Structure 1
Amino acid sequence: MLFNHTQKMAISVALLFMVVMNWLPQIDAMAQQFLSDSINSNAIVFGVVRTLNGVISVIQSADIGIGVASVSIGEILDPVNDLVERFSGLLLITLTALGISQVLLLLTISVTLKTVFTAVCLIATILIWAKPSTSQTILRWILVAVFIRFILVVQIFLVWLFDTLYFEATGEQALSVLEATIAVVERLKESISQINLSELIFGSDAPVIADEDLGAKISSSVVTLIVGMLFKSIIIPMATLWLGYKATFNLFNRSANYA
């Protein structure tokens, strides 16, 4: 099937737009900066989680005073410690995934790939007008080139959107709870037999939290971070790659059927 004049104009304008987007520095810079910030924030969370794991391991066998009662800290924090240990393993996976994404992004925004992409778009524009019989083949390979060049940028934008709309506020709140527990280490030097853990973690001006809710509060914060990290580092990137691949593949085959 040959393209008519209007279709050729539309494709040419679209290719020109892609070339402009290809060389627009702000988009790539924002994607690179957000990915670097995500790696740094995950590394901070990993440090907090590992420190928390060490703190819990140290005080787990001690009797801690919460309010007026003395309870075994192990009874409260045993499930929490298991969850924290698994979370630290998950964080290593997410950091690895983010590192791979950063390497791939550096490749896709390199001057070499940008130059190749520009050349492909310009050659395709010329051939669409000069050799109409090759238009379908050209269009199929242009789709592949656009997928390779922009899929990571789209992926990072979706992660940023998730972070802005949901995870930024809830993640910071959850992390602050975990960071506050690290203060236990300073108190351990003074007294390990009687610590008001509720006040230590949540502050002296925080509402009173029942003993049985203490472990649940920390576990809830860990789960919140787990869900956010999974979405940002694995679920959204993999879903974006899969959906982008399927869309490109379907358009590729559709163009082949029309040829």
Structure 2
Amino acid sequence: MQLRRPEQVLITLALLVAVITNWLPQLDVMAQVFLSDSISSNAIIFGVVRTLNGVISVIQSADIGIGVASVTIGEILDPVNDLVERFSGLLLVTLTALGIQQVLLVLTLSLPIKIAFSLVALFCLFSIWGKPHWSSRLLRWTLIIIFIRFILVVQVCVVWLFDYLYFDATGQEALSVLEATIAVVESLKDAITNINLSDLIFGSDTPAIKNEDIGTQISSSVVTLIVGMLFKSMIIPLATLWLGYKAVTSHTIRNQHYA
């Protein structure tokens, strides 16, 4: 496949930008810091969820007398506690996934990968202008090494965009509800008949949420956090990896077809 002059110029500019970006530390540092912060925030959420699970478990067997009847708190909170336990298990999976991504990111930012990327890119530039009949195969190898070098950085950028547009606000609100719910559950054993959930959860200066019980509050918050954690640690990384792989392979197949 013989490249035309405009294509040679565009590819040359793209490769030069890629090589320069490869050695600039700012983008890599931002990706590492963001991924570390994501692991820390997940660990905080895991701590809150385990605390809530422990508080519920402690009082699950307690009986509360209401008039002539007796109510077991465990019966009231058992479905919620099951959801919280499953969520804590999912959080361990997401923390593991983020840890693996952090290790892979460090590897892609290592000096050997950067050197290999620069050498392949510069050799590709040489072939584009000096040995045009080599350019097709070298472009494929360059795309592969660009994919290896930058795919995790791109994935972190997409996760940051997801946080900025959606999860920063909704996730923090859900976490705040779970933190406040711990106080509600601790108070539930001693005052199940006269708890003011809106004041305990949101404070007297915040509009009360009416017609929703504590189980609904916890379940809604947990579901919000589950969705966010799945997108950040699994769905977005796998989708980014798949799209990048498809882009590289489709270009390779097209080049082989025209070669």
Report the TM-score, using the length of structure 2 for normalisation: 0.90
* Pairing of 1:93-242 with structure 2 (within 5 A): 93-183=93-183, 192-195=189-192, 196=195, 198=197, 199-207=199-207, 213-242=213-242
8 Å CA contact 2:49, 2:88 repeated in 1: yes
Change beyond 3 A, Cα 1:75–1:202: farther
Give the alignment's Cα RMSD to 1 decimal.
2.4
* Distance in 1 between residues matched to 2:121 and 2:236, nearest whole Å: 29
Supply the AA of the counterpart residue of 1:236: I
User: Shift of residue 194 of structure 1?
Assistant: 2.1
Q: Among the aligned pairs, what percent are the same residue?
A: 68
- Which residue pairs with 1:10 in the alignment? 10
Change beyond 3 A, Cα 1:5–1:19: same
SS of the counterpart of 2:2? coil
* Distance in 2 between residues matched to 1:60 and 1:252, nearest whole Å: 60
User: Shift of residue 255 of structure 1?
Assistant: 1.0
User: Shift of residue 5 of structure 1?
Assistant: 2.2
Q: Which moved more, 1:145-154 or 1:53-62?
A: 53-62
- Which residue pairs with 1:257 in the alignment? 257
- Which residue pairs with 2:45 in the alignment? 45
8 Å CA contact 1:55, 1:184 repeated in 2: no
* Distance in 2 between residues matched to 1:25 and 1:119, nearest whole Å: 18
* Pairing of 1:63-74 with structure 2 (within 5 A): 72-74=72-74
8 Å CA contact 1:63, 1:194 repeated in 2: no
- Which residue pairs with 1:20 in the alignment? 20
SS of the counterpart of 1:61? coil
Q: Which moved more, 1:207-216 or 1:105-114?
A: 207-216
* Pairing of 1:78-93 with structure 2 (within 5 A): 78-93=78-93
8 Å CA contact 2:181, 2:218 repeated in 1: no
* Distance in 2 between residues matched to 1:193 and 1:63, nearest whole Å: 10
Supply the AA of the counterpart residue of 2:27: I
* Distance in 1 between residues matched to 2:77 and 2:185, nearest whole Å: 15
User: Shift of residue 235 of structure 1?
Assistant: 0.5
* Distance in 1 between residues matched to 2:254 and 2:31, nearest whole Å: 31
User: Shift of residue 209 of structure 1?
Assistant: 5.3
8 Å CA contact 1:65, 1:193 repeated in 2: no
List runs of 5+ in structure 2 lacking aligned partners.
none
8 Å CA contact 1:62, 1:193 repeated in 2: no
Paired residues, what number? 254
Change beyond 3 A, Cα 1:210–1:12: closer
Q: Deviations over 1:23-44 (max 9, x none)?
A: 1211111111100000000000
Change beyond 3 A, Cα 1:143–1:208: closer
* Distance in 1 between residues matched to 2:95 and 2:155, nearest whole Å: 16
